[in-house]
Amino acid sequence: MNLLSGKIYWPTTLTNPPSYPSLEEDIKCDVLIIGGGSSGAMCANYLSNIGLKVVVVDKGKIANSSTSVNTALIQYLGDKMLHELVNSFGEEKAILHTKLCEQSIKDIEKTSSTIDYDCEFKLRDTLYYASDVEGVSNIKKDFSYLKSHNFKAELLNKDQIYEKYNFKKDLALYLSDDAEINPFKYTHGLFEKASKNGVRIFEHTSVNGKLVKKDSTTIYTKNGHSINTRFVIAAAGYETLEIKVEKNCVLSSSYTVVTNPVDDFKNWYKRTLIWETARPYIYMRTTSDNRIIIGGLDENITNEEDRNSKVISKKEFLINEFNKLFPNIKVQPDFYVAAFFGGTHDGLPMLKQYDEFPNWYFLFSYGDNGLVYSNLLAKILRDVISNKSNYAYSLYNRT
């Protein structure tokens, strides 16, 4: 599966990223992580300090798949609105999940300060505006849950939005302490740190066979070697579905543009993250080198050619939509991407175990908040693998 195409921005921000050898021998370990993207990196980081032998394999290069096109808005509210999660899971579970996402942002902030790269982590507030009349009603519903559970959220009316942003929207949530990051540098930084802590990392090492037993698994690589391990973490991003089909997961296509650096973010209050209630939605953020990332316009397309054929028209559409909000900021698309994007039907990520894969953990951190979800799930995994109970595990290991 070719997950993405286009001209990609994040890898241009780190010259000479670290590289790792391919596996050239048969080895044994306690935990094998399949996948060298941001999810694998967070698992490696959490597992590197608990006395286990951890190995990571990637079929290509570290951080070169979905991680390299992640627009990396870090938010605690997700694709499914909070009141929809309450309808599906009940208030207690929906709020537990949202609190865990809020905590996950704090964890990412803390971890980002422990790595050797400046991964451009920055706390940012979010403006989440109502796109239409239905959006107004949905924003009100979400706000009442946020308020009663003490999230740092405000409601902005039309005048307040206009005063801050100079555009007209009827109502918005204003959420404090979301964030942005450079996912490419973050992932490389985490792997470099994990490697210093003893995690063995192999690039160009594709998993293409397995012998699963009750207490261990032997993995066979394309270059003819084997890895015997007690636990396997499948963190292969959207390609995890090639190892195990999961009916709650769904793929679609998404589009992004990264503009030229701009001189002045006129009327863009505090350079907040911006998104909306429409589905499909459009969202935007800024970068540390003063570019603007605009993304969204997801479509139910799972064919690569169809996805790629739309990239030029989507690029123009995204720029036009941006200019409707900010007509005074002139931008050019320097980078643009068409990519597959995974979500779940019920709106929550999953950390699944299946009977036919004893001692495997499947990390489906799917959805618009992949980074927040991966951190949250990786932390639960650390507890589960080290035999500590984790009260949130059952919420993500659901059938």
Task: Report the interface residues with ligand FAD, using CB under 6 A.
Answer: 34-40, 57-60, 64-67, 69-73, 206-207, 235-237, 239, 254, 256, 295, 339, 341, 365, 368-372
CB 365 → ligand FAD: shortest distance, Å? 5
Q: In the Cβ-directed half-sphere of 324, how many Cα atoms lie within 13 Å? A: 11
Report the C-alpha gap between 396 and 352 in whole angstroms. Answer: 7
Do 238 and 1 meet the contact criterion of CB atoms below 8 Å apart? yes
CB 311 → ligand FAD: shortest distance, Å? 12
Return the number of the residue (192 or 239) whose C-beta is nearest ligand FAD: 239
Do 221 and 208 meet the contact criterion of CB atoms below 8 Å apart? yes
Do 381 and 50 meet the contact criterion of CB atoms below 8 Å apart? no
Do 276 and 128 meet the contact criterion of CB atoms below 8 Å apart? yes
User: Measured on CA atoms in the order 299, 304, 308, 310, is the torsion positive or negative?
Assistant: negative
CB 59 → ligand FAD: shortest distance, Å? 4
CB 364 → ligand FAD: shortest distance, Å? 9
Return the number of the residue (171 or 347) whose C-beta is nearest ligand FAD: 347
Return the number of the residue (76 or 129) whose C-beta is nearest ligand FAD: 76
Return the number of the residue (65 or 217) whose C-beta is nearest ligand FAD: 65
Return the number of the residue (156 or 241) whose C-beta is nearest ligand FAD: 241
CB 263 → ligand FAD: shortest distance, Å? 25
Return the number of the residue (135 or 237) whose C-beta is nearest ligand FAD: 237
Return the number of the residue (85 or 171) whose C-beta is nearest ligand FAD: 85
CB 283 → ligand FAD: shortest distance, Å? 7
Do 138 and 82 meet the contact criterion of CB atoms below 8 Å apart? no
DSSP string, 131-174: -SHHHHHHHHHHHHHHHHTT-SEEEEEHHHHHHHHSS--SEEEE
Closest chain position to ligand FAD (CB): 370
- The answer for residues whose C-beta is within 8 angstroms of residue 90's C-beta and 6 or more apart is none
Closest CA to 255 of 80, 7, 63, 10: 7
Helix (H) or strand (E) holding 254: strand 249-259
CB 163 → ligand FAD: shortest distance, Å? 27
